[in-house]
């Protein structure tokens, strides 16, 4: 008996050594172990909710667990650098948003050309006013901005952030001037609108949709290239319809939520992850979430996503420089000026 | 009549939900959540916000009503739990318990740790229940007032909080408290500011872009000095005389019933103001208690009301902070902001329609708060007994263990090694400040509120086109301005001097008339 056991032990030992020695190429294909998603902002924000939602759906497809954790800080740079400094093997993924387009000028993480993007979609920008405001259409609003002695006050989620830039793009297209009032996030900006501290707010449709449904806030225009239905106000026109000559401005910069991986992750890994990503974005549950949060689904990856990210990075970076916020000059980083 | 009807309906719904709550699963979940919450509250470095954040992830797969049980249990437990470490080791487990340190620890040194803990527990439960009652019946009214807070009001409220805390927390001169508060504000200015997005005092270090995080700072300024002091001592245990004196609790509670209503109202009111939270609430209530107490001068040496006031207010702020959350989707405090995030993860989108589309949600949350405070009373009793026993361990053994727990807590939150550098760097600074008698509490409050004060001041000036009158030309902002001015005048002795002049002149007039 003892002898038999000894033989079994020996066999196990030999097998174990053989298993260790075998090269990773002959191992099972990606993924063999759990994938870690690091979300670069705090719990409960858009990037976090979407990363967790997609991860749960992708788990089933990939057959491993996808563990989401949050590492906010340095405008997303802390999370990005954690993923960047881990092995570029597809087991460390960044849960990200369009804030990543500022990595270069903020000097916190590598620029867009060094990443791969998996873009699920995003909520369109909107300019909204208090329900008791005297403007019922965007034409009234622009007219008032032109005639009023005091500038119309527009709240946004932070200087140089996406919704601030959207409001600046709109005022340039309309040829008027607003007073931009930055808050610490869209939530406080909307609160200020409800308390009538500001006349309007620039934020995402998803952030304001409940107040629109509740009749407290009226959306006037979607600061994108497409219009959107918002109950109970009907179809809200798009800024590109109103100012077709400036449509490109509104096209190249928008909110997105999704994942990022270093560009030098093996291509077959990117492909496997990407296929699961595609399925998760097309899942009925995702469509349901998108409807509730007023998100337009895109499901972009590969070259398409990269081209879009590069265009967006160039708009975002040069805007940042113009507002005096860039820590690093986009020209130095090799980011071309937007056409 | 209409009002009475809604009143009755709310009571009926509330009792239905309270009874429907009773199931083995719910009770077990609530028990676990409250215990975890208390532990999070007790451990310096872990707070209600962090607890709710962590459990948001854990409860991701649960049904919403079960998730709410867990999250509210953690919230209630953590806000109360902070008082235990404040009383026993003079390190507030959460920022909201900083005011409890003053008299709570003084009582512990007098051998009345047991009494202080019991008072804190009962005050916390009563505060929570008071918050619940206002939440159940006055949500629409309080929301309407809270939404009136605009930039000038936020600015004055932040300043008022720091002023009150500064003048209360200092062992000798109030001016030292204010200096500490200013240091805190100065530290809050590090990082990207809110108005123009420019960086200040970051010295090019990307770790400082988002400012100096306050969790490591609470450890640096509350924890490290206490630990070093303990190591310098002769290795005695803090409260070798725990439970030596047992004061009857009931008369203390009875004579403070009116006070509890007042401190609870302060808690609910400040809790309901968007984004401000229980830290200021505790200090304002402490200030109120000290002002009205016949032996106000003795505060800080172990007065019962000095424990009850902040603990009532910070727990009442729970109900308060949920008020605007449920009615408008606007969180009243940082933990409530985490709660909002959790609701959104569960597919609930709080907003003006939430309570209309889910009419049960207010009584349901009310019922959870009721059960949470019952469990808090029971679990608190068991846990504090255990922890009071811990204090018999000599300090030279106990405090290093606490030190390690503190540091692990800081690191576990964001896994950022830079935070450890901050803890040790500022810990040394904190130790010397403490030796020179500069209190830590106003510094931490300044750090939490400094950014708010700065950003809201400049936003208010932006909105009033630089007109300084814009800061005081609304009723609420003017009241807060007056309160700040009076606090300063009072501390500088101006009020007494004016009073003296008035009585003198009256005396002179009287003698002339005669």
Look at phi and psi of residue A164 and say left if phi exceeds 0, alpha if psi is from -120 to 50, else beta: alpha
In a domain, B40, yes or no: yes
Q: How many residues in total does chain A contain?
A: 339
Q: Is the pLDDT of residue A261 over 90?
A: yes
Same domain for B387 and B481, yes or no, is no
In the 3-class helix/strand/coil scheme, how is A229-286 assigned residue by residue?
ECCCCCEECEHHHHCHHHHHHHHCCCCCEEEEEECCCCHHHHHHHHHHHHHHHHCHHH
Pick the residue of A42, A73, A200, A323 with the most B CBs within 10 A to test the interface with B by mutation: A73
Query: Among B367, B383, B411, where does a domain finish?
Result: B411
> pLDDT per residue over B376-433, tens digit each?
999 998 888 888 877 778 888 888 888 888 888 888 777 778 899 999 999 999 999 9
Cβ separation of B275 and A188 shorter than 8 Å?
Answer: yes
Confidence of residue B319 (pLDDT cuts 50, 70, 90): very high
**Predicted pLDDT at B242:** 55
In a domain, B216, yes or no: yes
Choose among A43, A49, A78: nearest Cβ to B416. Answer: A78
Choose among B56, B275, B330: nearest Cβ to A44. Answer: B56
If one compares A164 and A13, the residue with the highest pLDDT of the two is A164
In a domain, B435, yes or no: no
Contacts A191 to B, Cβ<8 Å:
147, 274, 328, 330
Largest CA distance in chain A: 99
Same domain for B242 and B335, yes or no, is yes
Pick the residue of B277, B352, B411, B412 with the most A CBs within 10 A to test the interface with A by mutation: B352
Count of domains observed in chain B? 2
Spatial separation of the C-alpha atoms in residues A336 and A322, rounded to whole Å:
14
Q: What is the DSSP string of A93-115?
A: EEEEEGGGGGHHHHTSS--GGGE
**Predicted pLDDT at A256:** 96
**Which run of H or of E encompasses A300?**
strand A296-301
For B318, the token pair is 């729970």
Spatial separation of the C-alpha atoms in residues A221 and B134, rounded to whole Å:
39
Residues 6+ apart with CB under 8 A from B467: B461
Q: What is the mean pLDDT of residues A276-297?
A: 94
Distance from CA of A6 to the nearest CA of B (A): 45
Alpha helices in chain A (DSSP H): 2-21, 46-62, 77-85, 103-106, 138-147, 162-174, 186-194, 205-213, 239-242, 247-251, 267-282, 284-292, 302-322
Q: Is the pLDDT of residue B86 over 60?
A: yes
Using CA coordinates, name the residue in chain A closest to B418: A78
Q: What mean pLDDT value characterizes chain B?
A: 88
In a domain, B418, yes or no: no
If one compares B499 and A249, the residue with the highest pLDDT of the two is A249
Residue-range domains of chain A with CATH:
35-122+255-322 (3.40.190.150), 125-251 (3.40.190.10)
Spatial separation of the C-alpha atoms in residues A20 and A162, rounded to whole Å:
49
Spatial separation of the C-alpha atoms in residues A143 and A138, rounded to whole Å:
8
Look at phi and psi of residue B243 and say left if phi exceeds 0, alpha if psi is from -120 to 50, else beta: left
In a domain, B437, yes or no: no
Same domain for B123 and B239, yes or no, is yes
Distances (CA, A) of B360 to B10, B12, B58, B182: 9, 11, 25, 46
> pLDDT per residue over A45-61, tens digit each?
889 889 999 999 999 89
Specify which of A31-40, A319-328, B333-342 reaches the highest per-range mean pLDDT. Answer: A31-40
Distance from CA of A241 to the nearest CA of B (A): 30
Same domain for B123 and B263, yes or no, is yes
Same domain for B406 and B491, yes or no, is no
Q: What is the mean pLDDT of residues A70-81?
A: 85
Same domain for B271 and B351, yes or no, is yes
Burial of B60 (0-12, 13-18, 19+ CB in 10 A): middle
Q: Is the pLDDT of residue A229 over 60?
A: yes
Distance from CA of A302 to the nearest CA of B (A): 28
% pLDDT > 70, chain B: 95
> pLDDT per residue over B258-308, tens digit each?
999 999 999 999 999 987 888 999 999 999 999 899 988 889 899 999 999
In a domain, B167, yes or no: no
Query: Which residues 302-341 of B are in CB contact (within 8 Å) with A?
Result: 328-331, 337-338, 340-341
Query: Which residues 44-73 of B are in CB contact (within 8 Å) with A?
Result: 53, 56-57, 60
Check if B197 contacts A (Cβ < 8 Å).
yes
Query: Among B364, B391, B411, where does a domain finish?
Result: B411
In a domain, B442, yes or no: no
In a domain, B17, yes or no: yes
Same domain for B348 and B482, yes or no, is no
> pLDDT per residue over A9-34, tens digit each?
555 555 555 444 444 455 678 999 99
**Predicted pLDDT at B60:** 76
**Predicted pLDDT at B397:** 84
Choose among A74, A187, A192: nearest Cβ to B207. Answer: A74
Q: What is the mean pLDDT of residues B122-129?
A: 96
Same domain for B342 and B221, yes or no, is yes
Cβ separation of A194 and B328 shorter than 8 Å?
Answer: yes
Query: Which residues 77-136 of B are in CB contact (within 8 Å) with A?
Result: none
**Predicted pLDDT at A23:** 47
Residues 6+ apart with CB under 8 A from A246: A169, A172, A173, A239, A240
Give the structural domain span for B496. Answer: 473-514
Choose among B149, B344, B415: nearest Cβ to A195. Answer: B149
Q: Is the pLDDT of residue A292 over 70?
A: yes
Same domain for B254 and B362, yes or no, is yes
Using CA coordinates, name the residue in chain B closest to A109: B206
Same domain for B275 and B377, yes or no, is yes
**Predicted pLDDT at A216:** 94
Cβ separation of A160 and B197 shorter than 8 Å?
Answer: yes
Q: What is the mean pLDDT of residues A294-314?
A: 95
Confidence of residue B457 (pLDDT cuts 50, 70, 90): very high
Pick the residue of A79, A152, A185, A214 with the most B CBs within 10 A to test the interface with B by mutation: A214
**Predicted pLDDT at B409:** 80
Same domain for B392 and B479, yes or no, is no
Query: Among B411, B435, B455, where does a domain finish?
Result: B411
Cβ separation of A73 and B414 shorter than 8 Å?
Answer: yes
Using CA coordinates, name the residue in chain B closest to A178: B463
For B245, the token pair is 């004196």
% pLDDT > 70, chain A: 92
Beta-strand pair A179-182/A125-130: unpaired
Q: What mean pLDDT value characterizes chain A?
A: 89
């Amino acid at each position: 008996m003892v002898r038999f056991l000894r033989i079994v032990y020996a066999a196990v030992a030999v097998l174990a050594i053989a298993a260790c020695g075998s090269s990773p190429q002959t191992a099972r294909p990606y993924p063999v172990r759990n994938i870690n998603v690091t979300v670069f902002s705090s719990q409960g924000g858009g990037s976090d909710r979407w990363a967790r939602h997609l991860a749960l759906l992708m788990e089933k497809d990939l057959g491993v667990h996808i563990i989401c954790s949050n590492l906010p800080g340095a405008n997303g740079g802390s999370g990005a650098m954690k993923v960047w400094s881990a092995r570029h093997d597809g087991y460390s993924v960044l849960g990200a948003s369009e804030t990543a387009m500022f990595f270069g000028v903020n000097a916190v993480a590598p620029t867009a050309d060094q990443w791969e993007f998996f873009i699920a979609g995003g909520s369109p920008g909107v300019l909204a006013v208090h329900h008791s405001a005297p403007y019922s259409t965007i034409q009234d609003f622009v007219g008032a901005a032109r005639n009023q002695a005091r500038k119309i006050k527009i709240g946004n989620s932070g200087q140089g952030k996406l919704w601030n830039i959207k409001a600046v793009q709109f005022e340039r297209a309309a040829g008027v001037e607003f007073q931009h009032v930055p808050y610490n996030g869209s939530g406080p900006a909307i609160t200020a609108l409800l308390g009538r501290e500001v006349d309007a707010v620039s934020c995402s449709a998803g952030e304001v949709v409940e107040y629109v449904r509740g009749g407290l806030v009226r959306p006037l225009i979607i600061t994108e290239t497409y219009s959107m239905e918002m109950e109970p106000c009907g179809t809200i026109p798009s800024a590109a319809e109103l100012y077709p000559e400036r449509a490109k401005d509104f096209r190249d910069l928008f909110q997105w939520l999704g994942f990022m991986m270093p560009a030098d992750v093996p291509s077959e890994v990117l492909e496997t992850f990407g296929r699961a990503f595609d399925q998760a974005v097309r899942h009925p549950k995702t469509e349901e979430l998108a409807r509730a949060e007023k998100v337009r689904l895109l499901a972009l990856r590969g070259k398409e996503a990269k081209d879009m990210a590069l265009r967006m990075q160039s708009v975002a970076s040069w805007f940042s420089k113009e507002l005096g916020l860039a820590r690093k000059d986009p020209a130095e980083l090799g980011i071309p000026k937007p056409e | 009549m209409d009002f009475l009807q809604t009143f009755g309906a709310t009571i009926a719904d509330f009792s239905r939900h309270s009874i429907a709550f009773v199931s083995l699963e719910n009770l077990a979940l609530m028990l676990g959540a409250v215990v975890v919450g208390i532990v999070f509250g007790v451990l310096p470095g872990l707070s209600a916000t962090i607890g709710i954040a962590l459990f948001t992830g854990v409860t991701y797969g649960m049904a919403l009503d079960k998730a709410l049980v867990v999250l509210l249990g953690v919230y209630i437990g953590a806000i109360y739990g902070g008082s235990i470490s404040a009383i026993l080791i003079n390190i507030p487990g959460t920022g909201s318990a900083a005011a409890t340190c003053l008299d709570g620890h003084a009582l512990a040194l007098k051998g009345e740790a047991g009494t202080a803990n019991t008072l804190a527990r009962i005050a916390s439960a009563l505060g929570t229940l008071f918050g619940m009652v206002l939440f159940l019946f006055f949500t629409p009214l309080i929301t309407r007032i809270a939404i009136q807070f605009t930039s000038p009001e936020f600015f004055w409220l932040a300043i008022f909080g720091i002023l009150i805390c500064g003048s209360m927390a200092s062992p000798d001169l109030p001016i030292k408290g204010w200096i500490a508060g200013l240091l805190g504000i100065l530290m809050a200015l590090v990082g990207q500011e809110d108005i123009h997005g420019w960086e200040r005092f970051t010295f090019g270090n990307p770790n400082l872009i988002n400012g100096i995080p306050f969790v490591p700072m609470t450890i640096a300024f509350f924890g490290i000095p206490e630990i070093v002091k303990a190591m310098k001592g002769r290795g005695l245990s803090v409260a070798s005389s725990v439970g030596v004196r047992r004061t009857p609790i009931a008369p203390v509670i009875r004579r403070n019933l009116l006070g509890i209503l007042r401190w609870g109202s302060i808690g609910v009111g400040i809790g309901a103001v968007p984004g401000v939270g229980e830290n200021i609430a505790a200090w304002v209530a402490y200030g109120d208690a000290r002002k009205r107490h016949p032996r106000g001068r003795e505060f800080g040496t172990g007065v019962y009301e000095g424990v009850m006031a902040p603990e009532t207010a910070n727990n009442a702020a729970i109900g308060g902070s949920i008020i605007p959350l449920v009615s408008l989707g606007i969180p009243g405090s940082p933990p409530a902001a985490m709660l909002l995030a959790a609701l959104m993860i569960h597919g609930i989108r709080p907003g003006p329609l939430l309570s209309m589309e889910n009419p049960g949600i207010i009584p349901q949350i009310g019922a959870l708060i009721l059960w949470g405070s019952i469990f808090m009373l029971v679990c608190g009793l068991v846990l504090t007994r255990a922890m009071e026993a811990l204090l018999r361990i000599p300090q030279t053994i106990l405090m290093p263990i606490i030190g390690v727990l503190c540091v692990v807590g800081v690191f576990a939150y964001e896994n950022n090694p830079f935070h450890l550098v901050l803890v040790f760097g500022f810990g040394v600074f904190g130790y010397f400040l403490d030796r020179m008698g500069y209190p830590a509490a106003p510094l931490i409050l300044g750090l939490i509120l400094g950014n708010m004060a700065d950003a809201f001041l400049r936003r208010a000036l932006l909105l009033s086109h630089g007109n300084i009158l814009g800061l005081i030309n609304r009723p609420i902002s003017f009241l807060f301005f007056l309160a700040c001015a009076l606090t300063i005048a009072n501390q500088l002795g101006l009020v007494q001097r004016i009073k003296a002049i008035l009585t003198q002149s009256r005396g002179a007039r009287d003698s002339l008339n005669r």
